[in-house]
């Protein structure tokens, strides 16, 4: 299994070269990959159907417990077959559909990448590698949705989809990690058996909620559903593949996968039911208000995803059966319909059902295919969609609580589905009149073959569902271990479900007639565009933008003094927190030590410092600075540091000289009187100075450990041959410091040279 | 360059010698070291000596003694004026016509004038014929007296050494 | 063994000296720099091998044993940092061939880069607080000069802020060093670690820690001390800002980790909370800053800040996994961030701007560049299976393990915002179509990507590393775990430096 | 003096920061220099001072005898002074060139690179 | 004996310096302060150096003391000269009692005439020309 | 404290007060050259103080500092003169 | 500055400065002074020259490019650290040649060499800075 996925990734990288080589036939060539994979998965059918699982495993990051473990059970196999099967169809289809479009190679790269990732997702048996593939599908779908990236709308939709799914992905990641920590393993198979440990760890609810959020974003559940219709900006094959058959079902897949752990928890059922139902109804209502073929399909897909979620939320035996059946049924008819929509669009140049009509004769194969798929969607026997619908009704009726409400929700949805099916088939291919300006032809066989196949499968599975019964049975067992075995069939006798189906059909058809006869209703649809649910998303995005601008203007406001005061302020706050534990140290001036010149020097330094700060003349400030420097030198002299004093005096004077050399070019000293602000800065500075004084007093009261001092004093002459211990330290004991110091000086010289000379030589002549 | 290299070389040699000697312990060597120290550190003297003006040593002593006398007198005068409440000083700027010709002569003269309290060499005319001196009298100003004081004092004694 | 450590320092130093000697021969300087960085990479790999074998390698400089002389120490963390530095340096060296103009070369660009490298390596290896100060200062002065060289107005503006704030932070560093000496009478980090823990009033130690918090905080650009970074990093040539972005702030982070795992160990709740709060706010404010910007390099600059927050988060959580996460994050970040800056340089060369509004259409024309950017950008945003994902994953796992949910939430939200601002660049620069007037206004000569090969090669090189770390991360992860282990048991380091237990 | 030093240091720190917080280029640099003095004096004071006894080994002795000033902080400060000088020299020239480029002494005018444009 | 001599010399120097300092505050104009005062301080310090040399009674110290003395004697008059000159060029005003200014006369080309006509009266106010 | 130490103490005190007086001149100016000269004089006084301090402590090495000071002060004065000329020309 | 008095004074002072700087350099190991202070003093002489005559003339007079001086200084300092490596010692270890004692230098040793490197570099740095500032 790893090999299959890896081949996909390699193929994705090589796709550009292959496309260059094969040009228009590349689509079919690429389709060989999923087709071959499909065949391989079919070979595993017997094994899986008999209840065994196929495992494969490879280490990846063992130190984090992350492995590329894959497990093929019923659920995985169902999805894997869908992914590879529909994948092959879509690739073939896309080869023709994308003919003549720029950068098709990039399209195939992303599509194949997606395919491989999706396979990885459904096969993974490790939560982290599952997550990796999960994000890879978001990533590749970003590029597929944004394929027409020169359109602003396309970019926007791609971003929307990415941000929503990736945002949910982050929640999912947290959820999965919590799951891993709580369950003590990264392996899904093991985790599924450790629900109790998870519950004991106290992480159960958090992990569940976060995982649900992740799945909801991916599977376009209300209130995250809006990205899916926007994603219709992608080329139609992409919509068919990602946004109906596979990617959006990844969320459903994961919910189903995790069901053994969470099923039974109240929160699980309530959340899934509530959000699933909402999504289902909202999607269905909006669907029939659309005029764009793809939009109708998109919203019905949203609704279908809601339905699946809801069924998972019901979580009973029948409901789980309904889930697996509906996954297959929906994939077949919805994939087919998307491809048909693409054909129609491709051949007629329009997707607006108000403009389309009466093209049945022009493209009969397409039309018949579409009609079959629509019948399945409407749940009309003997198509597979009918079986699916029957199971859905059965699961609601079997529910212990709230069944009337859920049943009516299903009923309503069924009605809208039927209506939508009518719109998609009748209005497009028959209808009133054709407003198109082009002559319509049937599409090439590479495009039509796929949809026909899918439509036929809807029919075949409906007529003889026994073929796939074992697979779906195993899939439902994976979702609900110990589930009773599944029995599919068209005829279960006259029962409530059948009656409901009939009622649905009738009401649905009348709803369709109503819409059809009142075209103005459809033109109201613009309203629904305006109250699009993405409004909230846009608000959030705008909020982020505003917040970020506000924060940035505040912290990064361009004023150096503010930056400095932030730094000093931070220090003061932190220091004060610690300092409050120390008392104010005692000031003990020993009058016996009193020396007049000490005091005089101190006073002169303080006054000089004051005048440096206050001076109105720049030169005075610098002269005063020099005096402070000399004062420092004198302090060094008093306390036995002649080397320091020398250096200080030399450096001090040189600094003054440099200042003087530079300053005559500058304008007059400006005094920026700012009153209150100045006072504020004064307070900050005074506080800072006070804290430093305080700290020095505290630390100097602490007894000093002088082992280094002693070592240097004893060894300087005998071992290092020098009597000036300071110099010996500089050139011997700590010569690394001095080496660094002289490098600093050298760099400073280069810097000054460059800075000064570069200025005179802007065009960059010789140095 | 032609000045620099001998300067460096001479300086190096002299330092070397000096250090050689300061290591010695006897009084004689100490005296010698003092002499050499003076010699090393008073470069202008070395300059003259290099020009074979040895025989002018008495004149040099004369100059130095005169200079010291002038210093003390001027200092006392200034001190008196500073410490008494009224200021007697009457300043003026005189253009002193130079007899000294070489840069060294002029510089030495100007520096001696500046060093003496009460006079200050302000500037030199471009043709080096005049030295403008800021001078202070403690009585009525007599320009000619100031000028002749310098001419017959510092300049005469200096030129006696240098020429 | 100690010579393996020494050679790491001598290579850039000699490269620097040689380049000054060949001041006027800038071509020779180029060869010296590229040769030097290559040699440094080899030396770093060699050192890493030795360090893995021997745990800690010391160089007691001038032959005086610790704590009397200055000890240079290579443990795993410092060696990893040096390895990354050399990788970045090579990339930048090649990039500079096309990027840096002749006038800058004439004024010592390469010697300065050599000394910058020297100082960075020195800072990573130093085992002495004051010596570290010296290396920091050397790093600062060479970065000052590189920042300002060229004298454009934005450069000077940026440089003035950069210089001022960094000098003030150095004052804190020096004062902190003084306090440590005043408390213990020693400067050797290992010796300090021992003596500080013996001080009865640990509040004094915390007090000293605050100084280093500010000093390193400025260098590492944490909130609220980062202001110099977004003010300046986008102003010098891309070669310079790429190296700065990759390495310089990480020196601050390195110092943070070194000091707060060994010298100021986590006895203080105050320090722990402080680091945690810093990590969170730094992440958030940084990413919000990035979200607000519309200039390529400014966005990247703010992201540096935000990402520093993650590294500090690892330090603050202080479990083995968290520290490993911080180390992994550093490794990932250095590579990726350098690369993104380099991409911005390539784009600028091709399209003549850093302003998102003036850019567009790069993906259509230069798909390879697009892919290279995507790899780095999505890695930065923490998309699997790129290096950034693992970095983030480890930290999140570590955070959840110690049940620090708030910081994990912040980390996740910041990850989302990172993606948001990275896709902004992608949208504006790569996907958006450039209007024809804008195209003609720029008068772009139709240069192919490969006409600036020296600029593209390093981008490919670094992107490959990112991918490799992502796909085959186990060795890196192991290294990070080993490093974390070492950081958690500083006694190995201390004993080796002070020659105890031997 | 030993008792005055902490206050002197505090005063210098305060003065230095106050100058930096002004808007003038020149005051900024002066402030940085004063900050340098303060740091050096802090390092000097905090490692304890000894009056009038430099760490110079006398002619006939081979090691120092107490009391003598601690030589290590002196060596550190010396290094710090020199490094500080290098950086200040560069900063002074930077300010000059910066002034020439911007034609202003007002630091508040230097906000074109990092202020968020509207 | 040596102590007495050195104490005397040092005190003389110190008093010179002190008087100069008083003068520097008291005296009326810049030029007077420079020419009358600052050099007095230099001489005072030179005295101190001699006193120190005497007291230490060591060759090394003597050399150093003499070195300082020589440096001061060379540099301080030159410093006074260039600052005075710069001040004059910069237009630092002369004291109102500075009646004779031959420097200005020279610049204005009047010096030659004045030498001929010695009775010419100087200007009332001695502002230097700018 | 013998009498010689007292003499030195008095000398130091006098020099300190001289320094303060000169310092006052720096503050009041009024012209730049006034300040420069006063600055120079402070240096000179410092030399004296250092010399006397080296006597009181008996550390002759301090005289080296005085030598340095005597050398470097000159550079300061020259630089200020340079500044005055340059800024005057502007 | 265009003053004869100053020019002459400086011509007298330069050798004094150089002399004194060597003095400081060589006895720095045993008394206050050393490479750094020595280098500063040496450069001050030329700085004065530059102020008086302009940097162009000073540069010509000085004839060594400050940058070269910096490079040589650095090289010598580093070499003094590498020499011990050849002798099998650690980097920067002080090696002393005990056989002779030169009056001025005392015993020759690598730390002295290091100080000479510092001296050259510092002189080069200060001259480099001052020349650049004057030359504009
Ligand atoms: Na050594
Ligand atoms: Na020294």
Tens-digit pLDDT profile for residues C402-448: 999 999 999 999 999 999 989 999 988 898 887 655 655 555 555 67
Q: What percent of chain D stands above pLDDT 70?
A: 97
Q: What is the pLDDT of residue E94?
A: 83
- Ligand 2 centre to CA of A182 (Å) is 64
Cα A654 from Cα E4, distance rounded (Å): 40
Q: How far is F38 from chain E (nearest CA, A)?
A: 8
Q: What is the DSSP string of A64-119?
A: GTEE--EEE-HHHHHHHHHHHHHHHHHHHHHHHHTTT-TTHHHHHHHHHHHHHHHH
pTM exceeds 0.90, yes or no: yes
Q: What is the pLDDT of residue A414?
A: 85
Structural domain total, chain A: 2
Q: What is the pLDDT of residue C352?
A: 84
Rg (CA), chain A: 38
Rounded to an integer, the average pLDDT of A49-60 is 87
A548–C288 C-beta distance less than 8 A? yes
Judge if A577 and A521 occupy the same domain: no
**What is the DSSP pairing of strand C71-74 with strand C57-60?**
antiparallel
- The model's pLDDT over A75-104, given as tens digits with 9 standing for 90+, comes to 999 999 999 999 998 888 888 888 878 888
Structural domain total, chain F: 1
B82-162 topology per CATH: Alpha-Beta Plaits (3.30.70)
658-697 of A, contacting F, C-beta below 8 A: 660-661, 663-664
Residues of A with CB under 8 A from a CB of G: 642-643, 646-647, 650-651, 654, 657-658, 661-662, 720-724, 726-728, 730-732, 735-736, 738-739, 742-743, 745-746, 748-750, 752-753, 756-757, 759-760
- Say if A114 falls within a structural domain: no
Q: Above 70 in pLDDT, residue A526?
A: no
Strand, coil or helix: G96:
strand
- Torsion, Cα of B3, B5, B10, B12 (10° steps): 140
Q: Above 90 in pLDDT, residue C274?
A: yes
Q: What is the pLDDT of residue A530?
A: 52
Task: Count Cβ atoms below 10 Å from residue F27 Cβ, excluding itself.
Answer: 15
* Angle at the Cα of A415 from the Cα atoms of A414 and A419, rounded to 5 degrees: 115
- Ligand 1 centre to CA of G94 (Å) is 4
- The model's pLDDT over F19-50, given as tens digits with 9 standing for 90+, comes to 999 999 988 878 888 988 898 899 999 999 99
- Helix H or strand E segment including C58: strand C57-60
Strand, coil or helix: B120:
strand
E78–G9 C-beta distance less than 8 A? yes
Ligand whose nearest atom lies closest to the CA of G30: 2
F56–D54 C-beta distance less than 8 A? no
Q: What is the pLDDT of residue B85?
A: 80
- Using CB atoms, which residue from E40, E60, E66 is nearest to B75? E40
Structural domain total, chain C: 1
CB pairs under 8 A between B and E: 150
- The model's pLDDT over C193-235, given as tens digits with 9 standing for 90+, comes to 999 988 888 889 999 999 999 999 999 999 899 999 999 999 9
Which residue ranges of chain B lie beneath pLDDT 70? Answer: 1-56
Per CB-CB distance under 8 Å, the chain C contacts of A106 are: 367
Q: Which chains touch G (3 or more CB pairs under 8 A)?
A: A, B, C, D, E, F
Q: What is the pLDDT of residue E121?
A: 45
Judge if A506 and A591 occupy the same domain: no
Judge if A475 and A598 occupy the same domain: no
- Ligand 2 centre to CA of B12 (Å) is 20
Q: What is the pLDDT of residue A501?
A: 79
Q: What is the pLDDT of residue A722?
A: 86
G46 close to G14: Cβ distance less than 8 angstroms: yes
F64–G24 C-beta distance less than 8 A? yes
- The model's pLDDT over A542-582, given as tens digits with 9 standing for 90+, comes to 899 999 999 988 888 888 889 999 999 999 999 999 998 88
Q: List the domain range (segments joined by +) for residue A632.
A: 558-702
Q: What is the pLDDT of residue A284?
A: 87
A70: Cα within 13 Å, side-chain hemisphere: 21
Establish whether this prediction's ipTM goes over 0.90. Answer: yes
- Is residue A722 left, alpha or beta, with left meaning phi > 0 and alpha meaning psi from -120 to 50? beta
Rounded to an integer, the average pLDDT of A639-657 is 91
Cα F57 from Cα F65, distance rounded (Å): 14
Quick one: pLDDT band at residue E119, thresholds 50, 70, 90? Answer: very low
- The model's pLDDT over A687-722, given as tens digits with 9 standing for 90+, comes to 999 999 999 999 988 888 888 999 999 998 888 888
Q: Above 70 in pLDDT, residue C270?
A: yes
Q: What is the pLDDT of residue C50?
A: 95
Quick one: pLDDT band at residue E130, thresholds 50, 70, 90? Answer: very low
Cα C59 from Cα A735, distance rounded (Å): 13
G125–A746 C-beta distance less than 8 A? yes
Distance of alpha carbon A458 from the chain centroid: 35
Q: Above 80 in pLDDT, residue C21?
A: yes
- Say if F8 falls within a structural domain: no
Q: Above 80 in pLDDT, residue G6?
A: yes
Quick one: pLDDT band at residue E122, thresholds 50, 70, 90? Answer: very low
Cα A723 from Cα A721, distance rounded (Å): 7
C278: Cα within 13 Å, side-chain hemisphere: 32
Q: What average pLDDT is seen over chain A?
A: 85
Quick one: pLDDT band at residue G92, thresholds 50, 70, 90? Answer: confident
- The model's pLDDT over E26-50, given as tens digits with 9 standing for 90+, comes to 888 888 888 877 788 888 999 999 9
Quick one: pLDDT band at residue A646, thresholds 50, 70, 90? Answer: very high
- Say if A443 falls within a structural domain: yes
Per CB-CB distance under 8 Å, the chain C contacts of D101 are: 151-153, 156
Per CB-CB distance under 8 Å, the chain F contacts of E72 are: 44, 47, 70
Q: What is the pLDDT of residue B12?
A: 53
- The model's pLDDT over C336-371, given as tens digits with 9 standing for 90+, comes to 999 999 999 999 988 888 988 888 888 888 888 999
Quick one: pLDDT band at residue A200, thresholds 50, 70, 90? Answer: confident
Judge if A581 and A692 occupy the same domain: yes
Q: What is the pLDDT of residue C177?
A: 96
Rounded to an integer, the average pLDDT of A114-127 is 92
B91 vs A767: which has the higher pLDDT? B91
Q: What percent of chain A stands above pLDDT 90?
A: 27
Q: What is the pLDDT of residue A84?
A: 92
Rounded to an integer, the average pLDDT of C12-20 is 95
Judge if A370 and A519 occupy the same domain: yes
- Using CB atoms, which residue from C17, C23, C62 is nearest to G75? C17
Q: What is the pLDDT of residue A441?
A: 77
Cα D14 from Cα B29, distance rounded (Å): 55
Q: How far is F62 from chain D (nearest CA, A)?
A: 9
Long-range contacts at C476-479 (CB < 8 A, ≥ 24 apart): C476/C328, C476/C331, C476/C387, C477/A61, C477/A63, C477/A64, C477/C324, C477/C328, C477/C390, C477/C394, C478/A63, C479/C76, C479/C80, C479/C327
E123 vs D79: which has the higher pLDDT? D79
Quick one: pLDDT band at residue A529, thresholds 50, 70, 90? Answer: low
- Say if F72 falls within a structural domain: yes
Q: Above 50 in pLDDT, residue A127?
A: yes
A650 close to G37: Cβ distance less than 8 angstroms: yes
* Nearest-by-CA chain D residue for G34: D78
- Using CB atoms, which residue from F53, F59, F72 is nearest to A649? F72
Per CB-CB distance under 8 Å, the chain D contacts of A587 are: 3
CB pairs under 8 A between C and D: 111
Of the candidates C235, C100, C223, the one whose C-alpha atom is nearest the C-alpha of residue C157 is: C235
Strand, coil or helix: D59:
coil
96-135 of G, contacting F, C-beta below 8 A: none
Q: Above 50 in pLDDT, residue E128?
A: no
Q: What is the pLDDT of residue B11?
A: 52
Strand, coil or helix: C270:
helix
Helices then strands, counting H and E runs in chain C, come out as 23, 2
F61–D53 C-beta distance less than 8 A? no
- Say if C150 falls within a structural domain: no
Q: Which of B42-46, E96-100, G96-100 has the lowest mean pLDDT?
A: B42-46
- For B110, residues 6+ apart whose C-beta sits below 8 A from its C-beta are B121, B124, B131, E77, E81, G5
């Amino acid at each position: 299994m790893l090999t299959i996925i890896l081949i996909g990734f390699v193929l994705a990288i090589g796709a550009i070269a292959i496309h260059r080589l094969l040009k228009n036939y590349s689509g079919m060539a690429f389709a060989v990959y999923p087709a071959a994979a499909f065949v391989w998965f079919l070979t595993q059918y017997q094994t899986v159907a008999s209840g065994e699982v196929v495992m494969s495993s490879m280490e990846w990051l063992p130190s984090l417990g992350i492995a590329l473990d894959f497990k093929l059970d019923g659920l995985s196999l169902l999805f894997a077959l869908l992914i590879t099967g529909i994948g092959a169809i879509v690739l073939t289809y896309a080869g023709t559909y994308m003919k003549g479009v720029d950068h098709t190679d990039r399209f195939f790269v992303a599509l194949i990448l997606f395919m491989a990732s999706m396979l990885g997702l459904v096969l993974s048996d490790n939560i982290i590698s599952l997550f990796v593939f999960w994000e890879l599908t978001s990533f590749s779908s970003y590029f597929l949705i944004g394929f027409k990236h020169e359109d602003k709308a396309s970019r926007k939709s791609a971003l929307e989809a990415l941000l929503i799914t990736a945002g949910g992905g982050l929640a999912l990641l947290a959820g999965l990690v919590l799951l891993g920590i709580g369950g003590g393993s990264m392996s899904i198979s093991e985790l599924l058996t450790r629900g109790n440990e998870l519950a004991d760890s106290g992480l159960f609810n958090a992990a569940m909620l976060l995982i649900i959020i992740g799945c909801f974003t991916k599977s376009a559940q209300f209130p995250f559903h809006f990205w899916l219709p926007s994603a219709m900006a992608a080329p139609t094959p992409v919509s068919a593949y990602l946004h109906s058959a596979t990617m959006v079902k990844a969320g459903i897949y994961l919910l189903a996968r995790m069901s053994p752990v969470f099923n039974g928890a109240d929160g699980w059922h309530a959340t899934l039911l509530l959000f699933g139902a909402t999504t289902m109804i909202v999607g269905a209502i909006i669907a029939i208000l659309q005029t764009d073929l793809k939009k109708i399909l998109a919203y019905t897909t949203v609704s279908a995803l809601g339905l699946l979620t809801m069924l998972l939320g019901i979580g009973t035996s029948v409901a789980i059966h309904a889930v697996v059946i509906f996954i297959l049924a929906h994939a077949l008819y919805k994939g087919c319909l998307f491809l048909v929509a693409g054909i129609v669009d491709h051949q007629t140049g329009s997707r607006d059902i108000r403009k389309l009509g009466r093209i049945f004769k022009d493209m009969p194969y397409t039309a018949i295919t579409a009609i079959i798929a629509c019948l399945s969607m409407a749940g009309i026997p003997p198509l597979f969609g009918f079986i699916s619908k029957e199971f859905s009704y059965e699961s609601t009726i079997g529910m212990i609580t709230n069944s009337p409400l859920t049943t009516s929700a299903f009923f309503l949805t069924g009605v809208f589905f039927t209506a939508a099916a009518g719109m998609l088939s009748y209005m497009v291919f028959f209808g009133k009149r054709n407003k198109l300006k082009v002559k319509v032809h049937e599409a090439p066989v590479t495009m039509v073959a796929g949809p026909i196949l899918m439509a036929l499968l809807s029919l075949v599975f409906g007529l003889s569902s026994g073929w796939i019964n074992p697979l779906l049975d195993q899939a439902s067992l994976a979702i609900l271990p110990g589930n009773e075995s599944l029995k599919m069939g068209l005829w279960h006798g006259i029962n409530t479900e059948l009656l409901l189906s009939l009622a649905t059909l009738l009401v649905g058809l009348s709803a369709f007639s109503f819409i059809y006869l009142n075209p103005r209703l459809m033109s109201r649809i613009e309203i629904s565009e305006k109250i699009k649910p993405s409004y909230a998303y846009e608000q959030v995005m705008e909020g982020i933008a505003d917040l970020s601008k506000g924060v940035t203007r505040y912290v990064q406001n361009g004023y150096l003094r503010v930056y400095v005061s932030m730094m000093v302020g931070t220090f003061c706050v932190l220091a004060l927190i610690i300092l409050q534990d120390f008392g104010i140290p005692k000031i003990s001036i020993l009058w016996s030590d009193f020396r007049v010149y000490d005091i005089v020097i101190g006073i002169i330094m303080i006054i000089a410092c004051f005048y440096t700060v206050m001076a109105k003349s720049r030169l005075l400030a610098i002269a005063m600075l020099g005096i402070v420097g000399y004062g420092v030198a004198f302090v060094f002299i008093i306390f036995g540091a002649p080397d320091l004093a020398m250096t200080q005096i030399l450096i001090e004077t040189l600094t003054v000289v440099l200042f003087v050399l530079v300053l005559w070019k500058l304008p007059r000293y400006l005094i920026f009187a700012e009153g209150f602000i100045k006072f504020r800065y004064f307070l900050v500075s005074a506080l800072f100075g006070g804290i430093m004084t305080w700290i020095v007093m505290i630390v100097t009261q602490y007894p000093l450990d002088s082992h280094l001092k002693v070592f240097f004093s004893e060894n300087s002459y005998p071992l290092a041959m020098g009597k000036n211990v300071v110099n010996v330290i500089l050139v011997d004991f700590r010569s690394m410091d001095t080496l660094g110091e002289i490098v600093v000086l050298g760099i400073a010289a280069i810097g000054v040279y460059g800075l000064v000379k570069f200025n005179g030589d802007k065009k960059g002549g010789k140095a | 360059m032609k000045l620099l290299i001998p300067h460096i070389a001479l300086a190096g040699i002299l330092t070397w010698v000096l250090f050689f000697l300061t290591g010695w312990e006897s009084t004689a060597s100490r005296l010698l070291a003092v002499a050499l120290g003076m010699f090393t550190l008073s470069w202008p003297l070395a300059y003259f000596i290099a020009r074979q003006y040895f025989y002018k040593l008495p004149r040099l002593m004369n100059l130095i003694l005169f200079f010291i006398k002038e210093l003390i007198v001027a200092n006392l005068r200034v001190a008196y004026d500073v410490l008494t409440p009224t200021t007697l000083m009457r300043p003026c700027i005189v253009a002193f016509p130079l007899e000294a010709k070489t840069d060294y002569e002029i510089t030495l003269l100007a520096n001696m004038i500046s060093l003496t309290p009460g006079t200050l060499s302000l500037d030199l005319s471009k043709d080096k014929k005049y030295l403008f001196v800021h001078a202070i009298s403690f009585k009525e100003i007599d320009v000619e007296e100031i000028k002749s004081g310098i001419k017959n004092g510092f300049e005469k004694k200096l030129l006696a050494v240098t020429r | 063994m100690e010579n393996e450590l020494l050679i790491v320092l001598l290579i850039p130093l000699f490269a620097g000296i040689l380049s000054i000697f060949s001041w006027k021969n800038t071509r020779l300087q180029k060869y010296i720099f590229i040769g030097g960085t290559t040699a440094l990479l080899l030396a770093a790999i060699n050192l890493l091998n030795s360090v893995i074998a021997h745990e800690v390698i010391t160089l007691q400089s001038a032959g005086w044993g610790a704590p009397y002389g200055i000890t240079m120490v290579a443990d795993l963390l410092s060696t990893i940092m040096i390895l990354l530095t050399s990788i970045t340096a090579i990339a930048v060296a090649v990039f500079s061939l096309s990027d840096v103009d002749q006038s800058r070369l004439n004024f010592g660009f390469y010697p300065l880069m050599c000394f910058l490298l020297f100082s960075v390596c020195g800072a990573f290896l130093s085992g002495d607080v004051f010596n570290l100060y010296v290396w920091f200062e050397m790093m600062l002065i060479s970065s000052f000069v590189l920042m300002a060289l060229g004298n454009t107005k934005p450069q000077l503006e940026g440089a003035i802020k950069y210089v001022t704030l960094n000098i003030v932070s150095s004052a804190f560093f020096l004062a902190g060093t003084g306090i440590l000496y005043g408390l213990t009478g020693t400067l050797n980090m290992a010796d300090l670690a021992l003596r500080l823990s013996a001080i009865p009033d640990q509040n004094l130690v915390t007090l000293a820690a605050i100084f280093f918090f500010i000093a390193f905080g400025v260098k590492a650009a944490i909130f609220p001390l980062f202001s110099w970074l977004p003010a300046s990093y986008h102003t010098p040539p891309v070669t310079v800002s790429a190296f700065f972005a990759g390495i310089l702030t990480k020196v601050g982070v390195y110092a943070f980790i070194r000091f707060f795992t060994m010298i100021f160990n986590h006895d203080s709740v105050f320090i722990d909370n402080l680091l945690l709060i810093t990590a969170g706010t730094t992440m958030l404010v940084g990413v919000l800053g990035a979200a607000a910007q519309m200039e390529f390099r400014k966005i990247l600059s703010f992201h540096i800040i935000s990402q520093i927050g993650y590294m500090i988060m690892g330090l603050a959580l202080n479990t083995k996994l968290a520290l490993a996460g911080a180390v992994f994050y550093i490794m990932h970040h250095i590579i990726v961030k350098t690369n993104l800056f380099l991409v911005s340089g390539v784009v600028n060369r091709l399209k003549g701007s850093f302003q998102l509004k003036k850019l567009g259409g790069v993906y259509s024309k230069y798909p390879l560049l697009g892919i290279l950017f995507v790899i780095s950008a999505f890695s930065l945003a923490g998309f699997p299976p790129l290096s950034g994902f693992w970095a983030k994953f480890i930290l999140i796992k570590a955070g959840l393990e110690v049940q620090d949910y708030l910081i994990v939430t912040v980390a996740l939200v910041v990850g989302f915002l990172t993606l948001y601002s990275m896709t902004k660049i992608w949208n504006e620069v790569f996907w958006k179509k450039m209007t024809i007037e804008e195209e003609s206004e720029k008068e772009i000569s139709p240069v192919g990507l490969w006409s600036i090969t020296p600029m593209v090669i390093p981008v490919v090189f670094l992107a490959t590393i990112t991918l490799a770390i992502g796909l085959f991360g186990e060795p890196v992860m192991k290294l990070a775990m080993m490093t974390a282990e070492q950081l958690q048991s500083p006694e190995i380091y201390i004993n080796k430096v002070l020659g105890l237990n031997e | 003096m030993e008792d005055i030093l902490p206050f002197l240091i505090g005063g210098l720190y305060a003065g230095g920061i106050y100058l930096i917080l002004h808007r003038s280029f020149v005051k900024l640099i002066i402030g940085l220099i004063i900050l340098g003095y303060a740091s050096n004096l802090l390092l000097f004071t905090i490692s304890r001072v000894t009056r009038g006894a430099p760490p110079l080994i006398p002619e006939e002795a081979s090691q120092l005898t107490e009391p003598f000033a601690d030589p290590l902080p002196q060596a550190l400060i010396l290094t710090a002074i020199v490094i500080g000088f290098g950086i200040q020299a560069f900063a002074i020239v930077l300010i000059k060139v910066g002034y020439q480029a911007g034609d202003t002494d007002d630091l508040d005018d230097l906000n074109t690179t990092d202020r968020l444009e509207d | 004996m040596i102590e007495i001599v050195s104490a005397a010399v040092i005190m003389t120097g110190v008093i010179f310096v002190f008087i100069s300092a008083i003068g520097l505050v008291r005296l009326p104009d810049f030029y007077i302060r420079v020419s009358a005062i600052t050099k007095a301080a230099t001489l005072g310090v030179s005295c101190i150096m001699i006193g120190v040399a005497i007291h230490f009674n060591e060759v090394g110290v003597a050399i150093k003391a003499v070195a300082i003395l020589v440096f001061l004697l060379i540099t301080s008059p030159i410093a006074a000269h260039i600052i005075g000159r710069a001040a004059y060029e910069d237009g630092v005003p002369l004291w109102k009692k500075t009646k004779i200014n031959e420097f200005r006369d020279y610049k204005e080309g009047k010096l030659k005439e004045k030498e001929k006509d010695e009775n010419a009266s100087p200007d009332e106010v001695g502002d230097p020309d700018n | 404290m013998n009498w010689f130490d007292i003499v030195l103490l008095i000398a130091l005190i006098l020099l300190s007060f001289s320094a303060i007086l000169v310092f006052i001149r720096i503050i009041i100016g009024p012209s730049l050259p006034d300040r420069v000269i006063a600055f120079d004089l402070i240096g000179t006084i410092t030399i004296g103080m250092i010399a006397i301090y080296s006597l009181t402590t008996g550390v002759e090495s301090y005289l080296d500092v005085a030598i340095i000071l005597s050398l470097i002060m000159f550079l300061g004065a020259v630089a200020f003169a340079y500044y005055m000329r340059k800024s005057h020309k502007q | 500055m265009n003053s004869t008095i100053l020019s002459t004074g400086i011509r007298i002072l330069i050798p004094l400065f150089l002399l004194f700087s060597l003095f400081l350099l060589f006895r720095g190991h045993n008394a206050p002074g050393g490479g750094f202070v020595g280098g500063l003093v040496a450069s001050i002489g030329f700085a004065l020259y530059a102020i008086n005559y302009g940097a162009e003339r000073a540069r010509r007079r000085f004839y060594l490019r400050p940058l070269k001086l910096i490079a040589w200084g650095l090289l010598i300092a580093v070499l003094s650290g590498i020499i011990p490596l050849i002798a099998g010692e650690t980097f920067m270890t002080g090696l002393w040649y005990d056989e002779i004692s030169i009056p001025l230098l005392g015993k020759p040793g690598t730390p002295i060499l290091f100080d000479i490197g510092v001296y050259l570099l510092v002189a080069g740095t200060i001259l480099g800075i001052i020349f650049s500032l004057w030359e504009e």
